Structure 1
Amino acid sequence: MNGSLLPWLASLLVLAGGAFCLLGAIGVLRLPDCYSRMHAASKAGALGAVLVLAGLAAASSGAAAMEAIFALMAVLVTAPLAAHAVSRAAYLADVKPVVGKLGNVFDDERTADAQAQSGQEPPRV
């Protein structure tokens, strides 16, 4: 029974990982600005890669489990760091996000920093 369950689990993990990668790719195509696109690509792509690598470890019956675990750790470490670096670079390049009714909290911080450097008192909220 246990031997026949492992291929099904591996197939399910690989299919779920592929579905998350597909959702991330659709998010990159459909979302309005670079920040939202980066978020979709990093989160859904990382989760999809983790599920595919877990499926690989299950499908190989442990033969490639260590390699899959090392690749999984590399994805989990690098995906958030890369997403942060890309979003910070876009912010420093003054790429404006598409904001909703609540606005952009970072614009308020930049205005307060600029006023503090020029000697003006920031507005009280």
Structure 2
Amino acid sequence: MVVTADIKAGVIWAGVVARYPDLFTRWNAGARSTTPAPGSWVYSLEQSYGTAEANPEFWKSISANGYLRDLNGPIQLHHGTADADVPWEFSQMLYDEMQQTNQVVEFYTYEGDNHNISNNFSLAMQRTIEFFDRYLKTD
């Protein structure tokens, strides 16, 4: 949707889409310390380009969130509020940022549901199909 106009609409279920400072501190936060381990991708990038605090322009330039204004189609987001893999707040932040850039966006949360939206799969799939039908099918 940014790289090619061939993609007309998108749906993201429980996406790992956030700015890098949030990814570093909130994604799998329990699995690692606040200091990146030598040899990790975070450590390597910080050694080359500085931390997100020291070089925010670099980190913004490699974040998908930095290009939301360039989207050329609608996005639909789905996230379970009990997702243990990806914080549902990532989708909330993406939704808020997309609204700030005047993008067409829909956001559905599923109370108490997991990363796979297992308890509400049928509803989420129905919403997804209806979304694609609305934006991709022609009369």
Q: Given the two structures, how large is their TM-score scaled by the length of structure 1? A: 0.30
Q: With CA pairs under 8 Å and 6+ residues apart, which has the higher RCO, 1 or 2?
A: 2
Report which of the two has the higher share of helix.
1
Report which of the two has the higher share of strand.
2
**Which protein is bigger by CA-based radius of gyration?**
1
